[in-house]
Amino acid sequence: MEVNGLERIKHTNVFNYTEDQLAEKKLALHNLSIIYPDVNKYYAELVYDMCMNTSQEEIDILKEKCLQPFKYKERYSTLQEELDLVKPHEPIIVTTE
C-alpha cells in the first residue's frame, strides 16, 4: 500500500547480495532465530555476513586468536571473573563452544 508523501524504507545491501542470496540470508536468519532464540537478530546478521564474506583462512585465524591465553591472566584467572566485575548483579556466562 502506497501512502502519498511517504517513501518505503529501502534496506541497504552493502555486500551486494543478489535476490537469491538475500532470500537465502533471510531463511538462514530465521532458522538461526529458532535454534538460538536468545541471540539478538543484529548479532546473528553480523555473524552471517562475516561468515559469508570472509575466507575460511581468515576465519581460522580468528579461531586461533580465540584459543590464545587470556590477555589479562595475571589480573584475572578467567574472562568470566572480569565479566562479573562489569555487572556483578547480572553475571555473563561464557562458553567455549
In a domain, 37, yes or no: yes
Grid coordinates representing 10?
529501502
49 touches 28 (CB < 8 A)? no
77 — pLDDT class (breaks 50, 70, 90): low
In a domain, 3, yes or no: no
Domain encompassing residue 38: 19-53
In this prediction, residue 34 carries a pLDDT of: 93
In a domain, 95, yes or no: no
45-68 pLDDT, tens digit per residue, is: 999 999 999 999 999 998 888 777
11-21 pLDDT, tens digit per residue, is: 788 899 999 99
Eight-state DSSP code of residue 38 = T
**6 pLDDT higher than 60:** yes
User: 3-class SS at 11?
Assistant: coil
Number of domains in the chain: 1
Q: How far is Cα 49 from Cα 83, in angstroms, rounded to an integer?
A: 27
Mean pLDDT of the chain: 82
Calculate mean pLDDT across residues 79-93: 64
In a domain, 90, yes or no: no
Q: How far is Cα 88 from Cα 13, in angstroms, rounded to an integer?
A: 39
In a domain, 38, yes or no: yes
In this prediction, residue 58 carries a pLDDT of: 93
